[in-house]
Structure 1
Amino acid sequence: MASIDYYLGTISPWCYLAGDRLERIAAAHGATITYKPLDLLQLFDRTGGVRPADRHPSRMEYRGQELARWAEHLGLPLNLKPAHWPVNMAPSSYAIIAAQQTGGGDLGALVQAFMRAVWAEERDISDDAVIREILGANGFDPGLADKGLFVGAEIYGRNLEDAANAGVFGAPFYIIRETDQRFWGQDRLDFLDRALAAA
């Protein structure tokens, strides 16, 4: 059985546009997914990337066009200038980490719900009430918003170190653990699917 490490940033529009395709691909091949939310901005700093706020305007204009094209292609609603972006990724990431450790709900749907909240619903995913509501709506104890803070913070930091050591430099980033096959971007999910089929 293949194992996929999924490195993500909960405010990444590209992670949002991935939708549930990773989960469907994994289910089709009997693969497991380990969700590894991290501080995407620090990852850029560590690996030679440039934070969006510091990118040249031409790059940001192109980014906006590409996001709009992909959203239309995938049939996903997308606000290119969400009310709560950028926002602190840590609280939502801690909630995902706690939910993954505890179980009981739909983890893939939880991850997607946080990103949909940013890019389609104009919600603040650093707000405790929003985090609790999203946890509950996806089958998890809303109290995980408080219970998993210490462990969440520790693993959140470790995920950044793991990412840098594994060759990750952006998100979404997928690694098939057994073969070290790496895939950067939601537009590489078809290649991930093919790699799993060939394994």
Structure 2
Amino acid sequence: MAHIDYYLTTLSPFAYLAGTRLEEIAAKHNATITYKPLDIMTLFARTGGTAPKDRHPNRMEYRNQELRRQTAKAGLALTPKPAHWPTNPAPSSYALIAAQVAGRGDLGGLAHSIMRACWAEEEDIAEDAVVKACLSAHGFDPKLADSGLLSGAETYAQNLEDAIAAGVFGAPFYIVDGEERFWGQDRLDDLDAFLSGAL
């Protein structure tokens, strides 16, 4: 059985545009997933990346075109400049980590709903009420947003170290069985083909 480490930030529009395709691919191949939210700005700083606000206008213009194209391909609603972006990704990340430990809910649905709240619903995912609503909607106790703070912070920091050790430099990033790396939601078809033995 294959295992996928999924490195993400709840602030990523590209992780949002993945929808629930990762979960569908994993189910198709009977693969397991570990969700590993991390501090993307620190990851950029430590692996040679640049925060969006510091990128050259040419890069940002291309990013905006790519967002438009990828949004059309995904068939999802997306606000190019959300009201609450960037915001603090830690509360939503800690909640996702706590939900993964708790189990019994729809973790993929939770991750997607948090990102949808930011990118399509103009909500601030740093707000407790937003995070708790997402938890509740996907079968988790909303109190996880409060009870998971300490362990969530520790895991969040460890996920960053794990990412760097594993060769991660952006998000979304998928690693199969600790070896095969795929960067970006536009590589999910390749991930599917790899799990099928075609790549």
Code of the residue aligned with 2:193 in structure 1: it is R
Task: Report the CA distance between 1:198 and its aligned residue.
Answer: 1.1
Which digits, 9 at most, give the CA deviation of each residue in 1:58-103, with x for residues without a partner?
2111111110111012111110000000010100000000000001
Sequence identity, in percent? 66
Code of the residue aligned with 2:135 in structure 1: it is L
Provide the C-alpha distance between the structure 1 equivalents of 2:87 and 2:39, rounded to a whole number of angstroms: 11
1:190 corresponds to: 189
Aligned partner of residue 140 in structure 1, secondary structure: coil
Aligned partner of residue 174 in structure 2, secondary structure: strand
1:88 corresponds to: 88
Task: Report the CA distance between 1:57 and its aligned residue.
Answer: 1.1
Unaligned runs of 5+ in 1: none
Code of the residue aligned with 1:184 in structure 2: it is W
Task: Report the CA distance between 1:6 and its aligned residue.
Answer: 0.2
2:22 corresponds to: 22
Code of the residue aligned with 1:68 in structure 2: it is R
1:49 corresponds to: 49
Superposition RMSD on alpha carbons, in Å? 0.9
Provide the C-alpha distance between the structure 1 equivalents of 2:156 and 2:89, rounded to a whole number of angstroms: 10
2:114 corresponds to: 114
Number of matched residues? 198
1:73 corresponds to: 73
Task: Report the CA distance between 1:176 and its aligned residue.
Answer: 0.4
Code of the residue aligned with 2:12 in structure 1: it is S
2:10 corresponds to: 10
Check if 1:33 corresponds to 2:29: no
Check if 1:99 corresponds to 2:99: yes
Aligned partner of residue 11 in structure 2, secondary structure: coil
Code of the residue aligned with 2:48 in structure 1: it is G
Provide the C-alpha distance between the structure 1 equivalents of 2:41 and 2:3, rounded to a whole number of angstroms: 26
Q: TM-score, normalised by structure 2?
A: 0.98
Moved over 3 A (4+): none
Provide the C-alpha distance between the structure 2 equivalents of 1:73 and 1:149, rounded to a whole number of angstroms: 36
Code of the residue aligned with 1:38 in structure 2: it is L
Provide the C-alpha distance between the structure 2 equivalents of 1:161 and 1:80, rounded to a whole number of angstroms: 30
Which digits, 9 at most, give the CA deviation of each residue in 1:1-57, with x for residues without a partner?
000000000000010010011000000000000000000111000100000010011
